[in-house]
Amino acid sequence: MNTVKVKSTRFKNLKLLVKFLRYGKSDVQECTQVTPYGFVSRAVEDTIAVYSKTAENGKPVIIGYVNKNDLVEVGEARMFSTDENGVEKFYILNKKDGHCEFGGVDDNMVRFKGLDKAFNELKSDFNNLVTKYNAHTHITTATIGASTAPGVLAPTTSSSTTSQADITQAKIEEITTL
């Protein structure tokens, strides 16, 4: 087992092949990359890979990569993606305290069902108040000459409109949680 420098990757017959430099610039090799079940990634050029021969002669494999930055603590797991130059673009960090970071720590994700329920209750309460406000009346008085006389019940002269607010656009269908 030794380390090699990745030059490129490609798919052939549903296998990910990694082209790499083994013992120098003239020793270009290519072999299959093996990964944990359900996980596929393609390393960028100049990534250092761990190369190993197998019991089957002529069938070596790439079994992993040496990360330049190990940004996790004991018990944590991190997955990331990069552009073709190796610049990180997104990450998911499962922290040892049970938290998970999706690309950063500047904002929070929400449980949409709970938010939607609370929002709709608030909207309903507001709309009920608007309806009651618009329906309420005042006793008016009429001025006749120098005296005033009791008037009649009159509706409010200004009215409010009910809320049409909607938060469904805030829902991220592609990400679900507890």
Per-residue pLDDT of 125-157, as tens digits, reads 999 998 888 887 766 666 566 655 566 666 666
**H helices of 24-166, where?**
112-135
Q: So what's the pLDDT on residue 162?
A: 84
User: Kind and range of the H or E element at 100?
Assistant: strand 100-102
Q: So what's the pLDDT on residue 149?
A: 58
**What domains are defined for the chain?**
2-66 (2.40.50.220), 74-108 (no CATH), 112-170 (no CATH)
Per-residue pLDDT of 73-84, as tens digits, reads 999 999 999 999
pTM over 0.85: no
d(CA 60, CA 1): 10
CB 21 within 8 A of CB 27: yes
Q: Measure Cα distances from 156 to 84, 124, 141, 163 in Å.
A: 66, 22, 14, 19
132 alpha-carbon distance from chain centroid: 41
DSSP state at residue 25:
T
CB 18 within 8 A of CB 49: yes
Give the count of beta carbons closer than 10 Å to the beta carbon of residue 101: 12
User: In which residue ranges of the chain is pLDDT below 70?
Assistant: 138-157, 178
Counting every residue, how long is the chain? 178
Name the phi and psi angles at 169, rounded to 5: -70, -15
Counting Cβ atoms within 10 Å, is residue 89 exposed (0-12), middle (13-18) or buried (19+)? exposed
User: Kind and range of the H or E element at 121?
Assistant: helix 112-135
